[in-house]
Structure 1
């Protein structure tokens, strides 16, 4: 992490981090300004696209310019030497609840120390891209202690993404247990694969739960992203018991799954509400074609019939088309990819230049991507290089931005971003 700023705050460091070799390497790195490699007014992305003959449908749909004012960002590691994490959420008392891909859930104390594994977490299929995935607090968590989480579940005939609810009961030792666990929703059909599970969980303003999933990647199942009888490649809208909500667009339609909110998605690993309470998502494309969308009821977002980017083989996806009358255009797309995972809407005051922007974690771009918008269009794209794969992004109660890093098969850290 040679270019990662780590102006370390000693009170936030665990003893294991202070003694680790990685600490001495990261401490001397420069401040991440977000402007490295390109000046304001020019796009942050300077590499050639994979699909060189594809053109955006409208001005500003890709490679938006960097803003004129890009803040210098200070980064502090608040927790290190953690297991391979997938997501995090802030508890009401300021501690962090995290999920580890291998199947454990931990509470991270305010001084960055993980507690023992929480008891009662169900078994997960952690091979490939599977594991214990997203976690979200119930809207009434402060009163009920309820949490919701998604995970890849082994089943007869294969596996799939499932959603569970449980009451989190913390103990005095920094750990706790899950009580009254229920699996409330299963993505169907099952498939015997280990890719593209999604998934993010977002509660809407009326306590509706949006669940994003993937289409399982392989050519055989991925076409089901267009099939309303299938739960692959969809965004779902359910209640806290896993039931479809009456206002869903396909409720009552014969042959369609009533939980579906939108369809034609590839692999959705980023989702957040904007300041108006509307759902936004970012999904993985193939080689190129990562998409920012605002999924609306009943609309088709194209995959795999319509997409930007190309297949990993270098060949076109399907007929290689980027527009079709019956499908929606992405609000914004990337080619080359950022490989999005984790997303937050910034409404804090600690970094005023980011007010009302979306923050997206980049696995391949190795940093946080800041999307400035006007209405429903992206006006500027800013990148904060962290030289680490970013799996999740959250805004803390202090208005700072927190990013979860990962290394393939290795340890994770939690980094705090503030204005330098």
Structure 2
């Protein structure tokens, strides 16, 4: 056959090859081909048309890869996954078919805990294993704290290496009128604002997500415990008593889900409405952005006091006991999610890079900026267990 070759900047005729790609199993040339027709003109005259046939290897079957992602980041993971699928990933000749499903981390953790022979306390988010018999091949919860809690049941079942895919800090969310009354944005509002609401008989209502079923709630708990301990030591008081008192105050305003919390936010900026509704909450930066994007009557202001609360870090964990092929496919998708194009996609969806940087496409507004954040302090599994132990004691009826 004849094809098109470049000669000194002009298009002329040359040899054209039809590429037959043998597939695994020795089936010879593939019948399916992608055909591209190219026309060439010289001095205004049509000189010829050449056809290039580039064969695509057929699939030696399919390999299904299931990824369960936290509902907030699942849309971005799906979009990245669609781009990955267009690359036609293969493992051992088999074409990978990716399925990304949104899954509440508490429910996945509950099922995993039961399958591992334990009973993870997720405050009512328990699910019978028969209702969801298959755990995902890879799990992308919103926080590494879920993995740490499951390792407490079976250390070998949860991989030690689960790199963060994205990050969203846990920050102080205030109704914008209340934030402005406190001097924001010209003046920084500190954590003493939250501690004021975490004292008995306080008039400030601070909503808290149930920390046993919410990573944001657990972050709030860890931060409140640290602040209460520091304040008690400064005042010469007993830290345990101070922490339990702060936790009891938080427990009085706890809600199960972000949806429930949204339901108790102010609906207008009338003073009586602001007093009657929740006055503050700790939420992820991404949740605040999503809420304000819905154009509520009273938007939330994002405030970043120091020290920072433990952030959501979105680890990607390849589950133990999956087949070799599924593990290889999950690792391939993990590498794709960690690559720069996926990082930029997550940024456009309102998630920071794992190092806390925002980037030029990061959506900002109402206190949210693209300024890089300092690296978070490490939270140990022991600190998580102790905080949850105290919470269970403080929140008991």
Pick the TM interval, shorter chain: under 0.3
Q: Normalized against structure 1, the TM-score is what?
A: 0.23
Structure exhibiting the larger radius of gyration computed from Cα positions: 2
By relative contact order (CA 8 Å, sep 6+), the higher-ranking structure is: 2
